[in-house]
A and B are shown apart, each in its own frame.
Chain A
Amino acid sequence: SQQGEEDPQALSIQEGENATMNCSYKTSINNLQWYRQNSGRGLVHLILIRSNEREKHSGRLRVTLDTSKKSSSLLITASRAADTASYFCATALAGNKLTFGGGTRVLVKP
């Protein structure tokens, strides 16, 4: 079973709009990470937020973490066609396993 689950499963927006996706997880974590995957390609690390952090920014990305609700959100501002991809959250538990959610497919229309 997946530790993290993304919502929505798919998202379609116009270029320039913001895209928000959420991730919920089940157990306590050490950190939560977001990755991007272009169709059929390898995953690329976007951002990591530790369990004692609440918000983090990286360029046009903003990640929040609410450990009391066991949830995180990824916001992509001013989206571009190149942001079209699948986005995955991954949770790091104690130990060496990084568990991925099912992903959100984002389509940015020009």
Chain B
Amino acid sequence: DSGVTQTPKHLITATGQRVTLRCSPRSGDLSVYWYQQSLDQGLQFLIQYYNGEERAKGNILERFSAQQFPDLHSELNLSSLELGDSALYFCASSVGLPMWGLANTGELFFGEGSRLTVL
């Protein structure tokens, strides 16, 4: 158990709809990351937050948005869903703001993911 909790585990919805995925990081972790994993695109970095602030952005569509709340949990909102949005969405957390330098590990702890199916 990584200590990162994601809900819901499975979600089935229709095209055009909006869903919210929730992530609770490990106790004490300030950084939260969102990744999308699909068969054709692999594991894609979406966005990262540190202590409530956006710190890095990846291949996140404009239809998607995220935020990190004062209690450090994070939500990923996916709107105007398309068939191609069907994927596993992972949340990960880390101990602090990873500077990716020699003094920091940068190890991420992943949740079990939310499997989204868009029909």
Contact: A45 with B107, CB < 8 Å? yes
User: Contacting chain A: which of B13-21, B66-74, B76-84, B97-105?
Assistant: B97-105
Expressed in whole angstroms, the minimum distance between the Cβ of B23 and any Cβ of chain A is 11
Q: Please report the C-alpha to C-alpha distance between residue A50 and residue B101 in the assembled complex, in whole angstroms.
A: 9
- In the complex where A2-B42, A92-B98, A96-B56 touch, is A41 in contact with B112 (Cβ < 8 A)? yes
Expressed in whole angstroms, the minimum distance between the Cβ of B97 and any Cβ of chain A is 7
Contact: B111 with A42, CB < 8 Å? yes
Expressed in whole angstroms, the minimum distance between the Cβ of A13 and any Cβ of chain B is 23
- In the complex where A42-B4, A42-B110, A48-B105 touch, is A94 in contact with B100 (Cβ < 8 A)? yes
Please, how many residues of chain B have a CB less than 8 angstroms from a CB on the other chain?
A: 31
Contact: A33 with B111, CB < 8 Å? no
Contact: A31 with B106, CB < 8 Å? yes
Whether a CB of chain B sits under 8 angstroms from the CB of A14 is: no
Expressed in whole angstroms, the minimum distance between the Cβ of A49 and any Cβ of chain B is 11
Expressed in whole angstroms, the minimum distance between the Cβ of A30 and any Cβ of chain B is 4
Chain B contacts of A45 at CB under 8 A? 107-109
- Per-residue CB contact flags for chain B residues 81-100 toward chain A (1 = under 8 Å, else 0) read 00000001010100001101
Chain B contacts of A102 at CB under 8 A? 42
- In the complex where A2-B42, A33-B106 touch, is A96 in contact with B2 (Cβ < 8 A)? no
Whether a CB of chain B sits under 8 angstroms from the CB of A98 is: yes
- Per-residue CB contact flags for chain A residues 52-63 toward chain B (1 = under 8 Å, else 0) read 100000000000
The 3 A-B residue pairs whose C-beta atoms are closest, nearest first, are: A42-B110, A96-B56, A30-B100
- Apart from A2-B42, A45-B109, A96-B98, 11 more pairs, CB < 8 Å: A41-B112, A41-B113, A42-B90, A42-B111, A42-B113, A52-B102, A92-B100, A96-B50, A97-B56, A98-B98, A100-B45
22 A-B pairs within 8 Å (CB atoms) are namely: A30-B101, A33-B106, A35-B110, A40-B115, A41-B112, A42-B90, A42-B110, A42-B111, A42-B113, A45-B107, A45-B108, A52-B102, A93-B100, A96-B31, A96-B55, A96-B100, A98-B106, A98-B108, A99-B45, A100-B42, A100-B43, A101-B42
